[in-house]
């Protein structure tokens, strides 16, 4: 189902049964369903890469990845952007990569406060085209804080690419320039999206179940970030 230039998963979308795909055995009892298989994720990223490369034209850009969940999306997206340039003699352009950390979640709840880490030394973004790469947009408030920070550096332009955007009644109304999937208001894990630092090693994007939330809650786990 397609709309607003992204794939929209309706609220009653159930995803796929775990038995149809391979997931790490240590997570089998902690997942409700596979929302988006890894192959579909890769195909969607390929199209996003083509759209971004087309829109940038011959303009160099700086990719700014939001850690930690965005690192896998960044790597796959940039690789596919390079492939687009490789087959276009006129559009090949250089790009740089940097990283930033934003923290607003504890377990599966937003704290309502945004902690910004690693923002020192962003003056190199001045007069540059910036592509912010994020894993998921929830309320949009966290991204708006980051965009306010970036605006102070006076970049030439800023575009946001997010692999997922969640439909929620508490949304600020912010919408990225590039969106892979619009999803229901469910807590997802996998493809580098975590729950207290777990599930990043899961290739598919899955819905965590209540047992998984309890099993990997901070009170039960001592895994450091």
Residues involved in catalysis: 138
The structure tokens listed for 99 are 């990283």
* Nearest by Cα to 133 from 83, 77, 95, 51: 77
User: Cis bond leading into 68, ω under 30°?
Assistant: yes
- Cβ atoms 73, 38 nearer than 8 A: no
What does the DSSP assignment read for 3-28? Answer: ETTEEE--TT---B-GGGS---GGGG
**Dihedral angle of Cα 218, 221, 222, 225, to the nearest 10 degrees:** -60
Alpha carbon of 104 to those of 55, 114, 173: distances in Å?
Answer: 31, 5, 18
The structure tokens listed for 128 are 């540059």
- The HSE-up count of residue 137 (CA atoms within 13 Å, CB side) is 26
**Dihedral angle of Cα 184, 188, 192, 197, to the nearest 10 degrees:** 140
CA 165, 175, 105, 77 torsion-angle sign: positive
* Nearest by Cα to 177 from 48, 75, 70, 83: 48
């Amino acid at each position: 189902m397609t709309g607003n230039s992204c794939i929209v998963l309706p609220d009653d979308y159930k995803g796929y049964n775990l038995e149809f795909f391979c997931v790490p055995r240590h997570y089998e009892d902690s997942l409700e369903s596979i929302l988006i298989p890894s192959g579909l994720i890769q195909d969607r990223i390929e199209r996003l890469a083509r759209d971004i490369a087309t829109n940038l034209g011959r303009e160099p850009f700086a990719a700014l990845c939001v850690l930690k969940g965005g690192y896998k999306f960044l790597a796959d997206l940039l690789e596919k952007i390079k492939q687009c340039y490789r087959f276009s003699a006129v559009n090949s352009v250089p790009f740089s990569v940097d990283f930033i950390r934003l923290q607003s979640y504890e377990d599966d709840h937003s704290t309502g406060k945004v902690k910004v880490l690693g923002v020192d030394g962003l003056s190199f973004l001045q007069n540059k085209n910036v592509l912010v790469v994020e894993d998921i947009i929830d309320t949009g408030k966290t991204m708006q804080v980051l965009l306010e920070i970036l605006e102070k550096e006076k970049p030439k332009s800023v575009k946001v690419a997010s692999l997922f955007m969640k439909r929620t009644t508490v949304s600020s109304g912010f919408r990225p320039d590039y969106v892979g999937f619009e999803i229901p208001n469910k807590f997802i894990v996998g493809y580098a999206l975590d729950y207290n630092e777990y599930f990043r090693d899961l290739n598919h994007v899955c819905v965590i179940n209540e047992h998984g939330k309890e099993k990997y809650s901070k009170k039960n786990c001592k895994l450091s970030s």
